[in-house]
Structure 1
Amino acid sequence: MSVRSIHLLCALSLVASTGCGRERPNIMHPGDLQSQRFNAIAHDPYTDQDAGPEVVGGRPREFQKPLAEPVRNRWLMDSFWSKR
């Protein structure tokens, strides 16, 4: 392989490995309290009570009542990015 083809291969693999994730999570500065709360509501990491039996004590006190299913299904449609 020539040097030029090696450089081209490296450049293509670098571009292909970047993917779609442009925004990296900022662990040291996660944002103010309101933005953290909105992220926790939008990306609920706890078990879905509609999918199976209820897990008693599986959710923190503040997240005992998850969003209703119609609201969960539309959170992206009702967000800022979808408004036109």
Structure 2
Amino acid sequence: MDARINRRCLCGGVWLALAMTGLMGCQSLVNRGWVAPPGPMNYQQANAVVHDPFPQADIGPDDNSMRPPDYQNPLALPVRNQMKNQVTPWLLP
């Protein structure tokens, strides 16, 4: 009987800890300086242009409906290639 009660208390404690972690989120890690904040809006937008997560029409399937409205027109191929060389100079062209 005692083992069953101890197991219930342990499970309840684990669930409580998980719930509290979920409620706190990652904001507490940012406030303590353990995780860097994402940065200002202009930095985030420039980062999204350089590291475009959506497939290009000339590389993969053309699915413009996935792209956010501000990013409907991806960069042209010469601009992408030039940007790749500037961002990652250690990779051979």
Give the TM-score normalised by structure 2. 0.49
1:45 has 2:53 as partner: yes
| AA at the equivalent of 2:69 | R
Distance 2:42 2:60 in 1: 30
Higher relative contact order (CA 8 A, sep 6+): 1
From 24, 30, 35, the counterpart of 2:38? 30
Label 1:77 to 1:56 Cα distance change in 2 as closer, same or farther (>3 A): closer
Q: 1:78, CA displacement in angstroms?
A: 4.5
Structure having the larger proportion of residues in helix: 2
Query: Deviations for 1:3-33, whole angstroms, at most 9, x for unmatched residues?
Result: xxxxxxxxxxxxxxxxxxxxxxx86510001
Larger radius of gyration: 2
After the TM superposition, which parts of structure 1 deviate over 4 Å for at least 4 consecutive aligned residues?
A: none
Question: What's the Cα RMSD here?
Answer: 2.6
TM-score (norm 1): 0.54
Post-superposition Cα deviations, 1:63-84, rounded to whole Å, max 9, x if no partner, equal 10000000000114456x8xxx
Gaps of at least 5 residues in structure 2 are: 1-33
How far apart are the structure 1 equivalents of 2:61 and 2:83?
Answer: 24
